[in-house]
Structure 1
């Protein structure tokens, strides 16, 4: 991924937070059958390994787990949000006309070595933890014990676990940091007006920081 210096995010804490808050990742692999991409919910254990370990599972019928060998390198892409940026939103465009359309986004790429975990104990534990995380906000959280034992056992046999030890974690936070504070502020306000609150709010924080920097210049 091309990352200009002003868009680079290399701190592990915000990248781990991005993964935790946006756990549906794209597993990109180059296995025996060639390139593949699978959209999967991941669970990050940030304190495992040197940079964290990702856990997920796939359907047993999904060929990806048989295409990969333990130790193969894979990449997982996590996307927090994105938004189109119109040059019409920048005050400086009215003065110089030197602005063009762009697209802002926040993403993280995790590279790592894969281990196939086709063990009932691992799969059951991973599914239980993933369920607890995502059911926590429900009024009555669903539990694996809510289903008949033979049904749950059959469902678990139909999936295979995948563990990825992260070896490199990079992030790109493209929020118009290369623009003037007034342009970032105006574009963020335009996004929020049209309902793009996530990127709009993130750009507001960038604008505030740039205003401080510009006041000191």
Structure 2
């Protein structure tokens, strides 16, 4: 991923925050017939590795866990908020006219070795952790244990666990850092006026990260 210096986000804590908030990964693997991309929710654990560990599960019918290059890292892409940015929001449009559209986004690339775990107890624990994370904001969170045991055991038999110990993280926050403050203010106002969830989320990122400051510790 091409990352100009002013768009780079090196802090592990910030990248982890995006992964947890947008846990549906595009998992890219090298198969015997070329690159494959699967869309898989992955749960991040950061208690046993400097960069974290990603855990998930796939259907046994999915060849991803059989047909992959074991000596090549896999890539998990986590896409955060994104938004089209019209130059009409820039104050400098009226001053010089030298403005063009762009697209703002935040994204994390996680690299590591794919490990297959064929263990029902491990898969159940992974499902419970993933479910607990995503149910946390509900008034009445659902738990795996709410379903009949024989029902969940049968479903678990149909899936297999995967684990990726992250060896490298790359973060790119392209959120108008290359624009002067007056243009950033116009972007924030324009996005908020759209009233869409994604636009509002990007407005928050521009306000928080737009002016490059001392990033502090990772």
Fold shared per TM-score above 0.5: yes
Unaligned runs of 5+ in 1: none
Give the superposition deviation at 1:162. 0.5
Greater alpha carbon shift after TM alignment, 103-112 vs 119-128: 119-128
Q: Which residue of 2 aligns with 1:80?
A: 80
**Runs of 4+ deviating beyond 4 Å:** none
Give the superposition deviation at 1:176. 1.0
Q: Which residue of 1 aligns with 2:160?
A: 160
Paired with 1:124 and 1:71, the residues of 2 have a C-alpha distance of 28
For the pair 1:105 / 2:108, whether they are aligned, the reply is no
Paired with 1:132 and 1:103, the residues of 2 have a C-alpha distance of 33
Give the superposition deviation at 1:71. 5.3
Aligned residues: 211
The RMSD of aligned alpha carbons is: 1.7
TM-score by length of 2: 0.91
Paired with 2:129 and 2:208, the residues of 1 have a C-alpha distance of 34
Give the superposition deviation at 1:178. 0.8
Give the superposition deviation at 1:88. 1.1
Cα pair 2:81 2:106 within 8 Å, conserved: yes
For the pair 1:197 / 2:200, whether they are aligned, the reply is yes
Unaligned runs of 5+ in 2: none
TM-score by length of 1: 0.91
Paired with 1:10 and 1:153, the residues of 2 have a C-alpha distance of 41
Greater helix percent: which structure? 1
Q: Which residue of 2 aligns with 1:177?
A: 177
Give the superposition deviation at 1:158. 0.4
